[in-house]
A = this chain, B = another copy of it.
Amino acid sequence: MIVILTSAATERNREDIVENLESRGYNVHVSVGVEKTIIGIIGIGPEEKAEVADQFEALPFVERCVPISAPYKLVGKAFRPEGTRINVRGIVIGGEKAVMMAGPCTVESEEQLMSAARAVKAAGAHILRGGAYKPSTSPYSFHGHGVEALKMLAAAREETGMPIITEVMDVRDVETVCEYADILQIGTRNSQNYNLLREVGKVQTPVMLKRGMSGKIDEWLQAAEYIASSGNYNIMLCERGIRTFETYTRNTFDINAIPAIKELSHLPIIADPSHGTGKASLVSAVTLAAFAAGADGAIVEVHPNPEKALKDGAQSLTPAAFEDLMKKLAGLLPVVGRTL
């Protein structure tokens, strides 16, 4: 980390800083410039860096602290350069095979879920998605069937053999959801709900961590670091679109984030084009794009009868559109060295 002093800093200020740092055991390099003085701290880890920056930036003669290395460690590329592979009931996420998660946004009924599950299974999906607990902007919207929905998901797994992924929103539900789910999803609104991140870090069920709707890549990886540093290394990241000024689409899918995560982290990266666009008509194109850019998997909303979906219908594919997407995907994957 580099500490940049203001042009008003005195020699005494500089010496105080250096002394303070040396007393903590760091090696320090001082570079006195014409306008400003720069102090480099050698070998400081992410743990101490946050603390030192907080303290030093409060000093009136410190202009700012510039981190040189990443504020995360366990989820950083260097920690496991070969990449993380997560085995979910035989489906490997982060390996050669691309993984497709599909299903309805919300579990509405046994019939709806089973119908969707059969359809996506037939088209080649690997993992079944479905919301039991649903975050909604309005308190008056539908919030999911809870445990009943979890049971329906388990029954669908039973029949189709597909592992299931579902969202957990509340620290008090982690235990229950773990009883049913194969992958825990942390939604965008909880991407900085640190207590929830710590709770899912205490179990070993794999976690899919969605990016906050205004989360910087850096913050997203630190959120993952919360999970890892609590003990659970089975983490996959999910790009689901960020909030921008554009209003034609619900969110702006950040395609740059796919290769960016690949160069910064060893964690698998999953694309969510349903939320990333908010428009069914754009989902197939963006799914193909995400795999072309190197995504390890995708999670797509498919509704057996999207015209009747209770929630987020606007972004759900029909089973026929999903089947068509899977066919195109089978053609595309070999170009990026993968298969379905």
Binding site for B on A (CB under 8 A): 2, 4, 29, 31, 33-36, 38, 40, 42-43, 46-48, 50-51, 54-55, 57-60, 66, 68-69, 71-72, 135-143, 169-172, 189-190, 192-195, 212-214, 216-219, 222, 225-226, 229-230, 241-249, 252-260, 262-264, 276-277, 279, 281-282, 285-286, 288-294, 303, 306-314, 316, 328, 331-332, 334-336
Are B68 and A286 in contact, CB atoms less than 8 angstroms apart? no
- In the complex, 23 of the A-B residue pairs with CB atoms within 8 angstroms, ordered by the A residue number, are A54-B309, A55-B313, A58-B307, A58-B308, A59-B313, A66-B66, A71-B137, A72-B138, A216-B246, A242-B246, A243-B245, A244-B244, A248-B256, A249-B256, A249-B260, A253-B254, A256-B276, A259-B281, A259-B285, A285-B293, A288-B336, A289-B290, A292-B292
Q: How far is the CA of A212 from the CA of B172 in the complex (A)?
A: 23
Q: Judge whether B36 and A31 touch: CB under 8 Å.
A: no
Contact A247 B248 (CB under 8 A): no
Residue of B nearest to A337 (CB): B328
CB distance from A40 to the nearest CB of B (A): 4
A281 touches which of B38, B263, B281 (Cβ 8 Å) = B263
Task: Give the CA-CA distance A253 to B48 in the complex, in Å.
Answer: 30
Number of copies: 4
| B282 lies within 8 A of A286 (CB) | no
Q: How far is the CB of A237 from chain B (nearest CB, A)?
A: 14
Taking CB as reference atom, which chain B residue is nearest A170? B195
Expressed in whole angstroms, the Cα–Cα distance for A162 and B107 within the complex equals 49
Complex interface: chain B residues within 8 A of A244 (CB): 242, 244-245, 252, 254
